[in-house]
Structure 1
Amino acid sequence: MSKFSLLLTMMMATMARSASFDYGDALTKSILFFEGQRSGKLPPSQRMKWRKDSALHDGHDIHMNMVGGYYDAGDNVKFHFPMAFTTTMLAWSVIEFGDKMESDLQHALEAIRWGTDYFLKATKIPNIVVAQVGNPISDHDCWERPEDMDTSRQAYYLTQRKPGSEVSAEIAAALAASSIVFRKIDRRYSKVLLIRAKQ
């Protein structure tokens, strides 16, 4: 068999295999992933039953309720910049493709709202933006389930004297994009998100 024939056979086998992938199932699982990353008091609609409530005292060190949001990348820190970017992208995916998401749409809306409810807490006090919860150094020194955390849960925040425009701007983008998502289904919530984004 010539090299060309061998290459052609390998390409055809690869194409045949890729044609059998279920991309709808991949989308469903990508939305489900958000539920596995949830922090806080989990809702009854939680599909990943092995996950339990966690980090129920986040923000107590700064006298703010920072319970909720999403953990980052398999650790137990809540980094608000990537969380906000993810919420922004999820919101835009619903804006652009929500009519094609079928049964996953409701789960996507819940995932967006889980993030935006948290960002409303992070921006509740004027001129303060909570940018992170959890100490990445101590957190990355151990590997444990969120439900079993015993590492520092310090909250880090931005002020006019300690600025961080990239985090603040991405949270504003997440809130603004999400306000578009909720405009037709929950007008009051949509307005709350847009007002906070402008602040």
Structure 2
Amino acid sequence: MDWSGYDRIGKLGLQFANLASGSTVSYEISDIYFTTDTSGNSGSGGKQDDPTTDINTDIEYNFAKLLQESLYLYDANMCGTDVTEKTGLSWRQNCHTEDQYASYNGQTVDVSGGYHDAGDHAKFALPQAYTASVLGMSYYQFKDAFTELGQTEHIQRILDHFAEYLEKCAVLDANGNVIAYCYQVGNGNTDHDYWVRFNCPEFTTLCPITGQPDYGTIYISYMPAERMVESKSLKLYLVSFRNHGDFHEDVVNVIMRDLIAIMAPKYIEVQGKFLPRGGISIDPYANYGIPGTKYEALAWERLSQHDRVPERVDNR
């Protein structure tokens, strides 16, 4: 249509037909204005001087800069003993140097290098392999763009660092065959504490005086350091009390001391809620925090505040 002689159309009707199904959809548009304004203020199909279609000219649409600076994410998360030599960020230093070696069946494996998992205190092989693949494919498909922006050396350095680490994680035998793979280095939770709680409602033991069975619930809460207890192992351990005679107060202390010995947690507390025996129910509580740390203070605070509001026991 030749609308060159018009500056406004009062109404325009459009109809779209689906030839396969025979259905149609109709649209009606009112008050279409034409303008020669090239400032962007007229918008798309909007009325002249309509501010709702203005383009925000304060935003810088610079995709070249976006590509260049997005690569610094990998410089920021780079790990190893040569970070200061490779990274594009002057403030980054070497890291994960304390756990650069792992052991597998007596064989020492160099697992230095690689990248943090989004700034966390751990390195995971699978996410790194996926990320390296996506980056490598982008460089393979759009190599000219990287070259034009002067990012060839930068992207190659990042990809090489990925590849070197993933190769190191493969554990080889004497014949060069892969026998194991290191999929994680470090503890991703070292930068924050967290609780683990076990509820054990089927706990049984024997009265040390009468030999009769006692029933109760054991609650175990702790903040792990480097080691944790596996739930099935804990279940089998608690089952061993079934034929063991001990007082309720001693039971919770024995459990706590045993768990401290195998886990060395930052903090732990064990509480028992036993069913009444002879008309009396007993709820012993014990806790522990690493001496000389904030966890020792936490232990005293929780112990001193424990049972300030006694629980009703008419449900037992």
Aligned residue for 2:170?
123
Aligned residue for 1:134?
186
Residues 1-27 of structure 1: CA distance to partner in whole angstroms, max 9, x if unpaired? xxx76xx6334234x455x32111110
Aligned residue for 2:142?
97
Specify whether residues 141 and 29 from structure 1 end up closer, same or farther in structure 2 by C-alpha distance, changes over 3 A only. farther
Letter in 1 for 2:181: V
Return the match for 1:112 from 153, 159, 164: 159
Aligned residue for 2:123?
78
Percent identity reads 23
Give the length in aligned residue pairs: 139
Secondary structure class of the residue paired with 1:127: strand
Residues 106-151 of structure 1: CA distance to partner in whole angstroms, max 9, x if unpaired? 1001100000000010114212111111122334439xxxxxxxx8
Kindly indicate whether the alpha-carbon contact (under 8 Å) linking 2:96 and 2:112 is maintained by their aligned counterparts in 1: yes
Secondary structure class of the residue paired with 2:90: coil
Aligned residue for 1:28?
68
Return the match for 1:13 from 55, 76, 81: 55
Specify whether residues 45 and 78 from structure 1 end up closer, same or farther in structure 2 by C-alpha distance, changes over 3 A only. closer
Unaligned 5+ runs, structure 2: 1-45, 173-177, 195-224, 227-316
1:60 partnered with 2:107: no
Coordinate RMSD, CA, aligned: 2.6
Aligned residue for 2:236?
none
- Tell me how far 1:43 sits from its aligned partner: 4.9
Residues 43-63 of structure 1: CA distance to partner in whole angstroms, max 9, x if unpaired? 524321111111124253422
Residues 46-100 of structure 1: CA distance to partner in whole angstroms, max 9, x if unpaired? 3211111111242534221111000011212112221111100000011000111
Q: Return the alpha-carbon distance in structure 1 between the equivalents of residues 52 and 185 of structure 2.
A: 49
Q: Return the alpha-carbon distance in structure 2 between the equivalents of residues 71 and 33 of structure 1.
A: 11
Letter in 2 for 1:56: T
Larger helix share, 1 or 2: 1
Q: Return the alpha-carbon distance in structure 2 between the equivalents of residues 122 and 67 of structure 1.
A: 9
TM-score by length of 2: 0.40
Letter in 1 for 2:95: S
Q: Return the alpha-carbon distance in structure 2 between the equivalents of residues 43 and 29 of structure 1.
A: 18
After superposition, residues 145-184 of structure 1 pair within 5 angstroms as: none
The structure that has the greater radius of gyration is 2
Kindly indicate whether the alpha-carbon contact (under 8 Å) linking 1:58 and 1:65 is maintained by their aligned counterparts in 2: no
Residues 165-190 of structure 1: CA distance to partner in whole angstroms, max 9, x if unpaired? xxxxxxxxxxxxxxxxxxxxxxxxxx
Kindly indicate whether the alpha-carbon contact (under 8 Å) linking 2:102 and 2:110 is maintained by their aligned counterparts in 1: no
Larger strand share, 1 or 2: 2
Letter in 1 for 2:188: P
Aligned residue for 1:166?
none
Kindly indicate whether the alpha-carbon contact (under 8 Å) linking 1:83 and 1:115 is maintained by their aligned counterparts in 2: yes
TM-score by length of 1: 0.61
Return the match for 1:49 from 66, 90, 106: 90
Unaligned 5+ runs, structure 1: 143-150, 153-199
Kindly indicate whether the alpha-carbon contact (under 8 Å) linking 1:39 and 1:67 is maintained by their aligned counterparts in 2: yes
Kindly indicate whether the alpha-carbon contact (under 8 Å) linking 1:57 and 1:65 is maintained by their aligned counterparts in 2: no
Q: Return the alpha-carbon distance in structure 2 between the equivalents of residues 10 and 17 of structure 1.
A: 16
Q: Return the alpha-carbon distance in structure 2 between the equivalents of residues 82 and 57 of structure 1.
A: 22
Kindly indicate whether the alpha-carbon contact (under 8 Å) linking 1:57 and 1:67 is maintained by their aligned counterparts in 2: no
The answer to which structure, 1 or 2, has the higher relative contact order (CA under 8 A, 6+ apart) is 1
Q: Return the alpha-carbon distance in structure 1 between the equivalents of residues 97 and 71 of structure 2.
A: 24
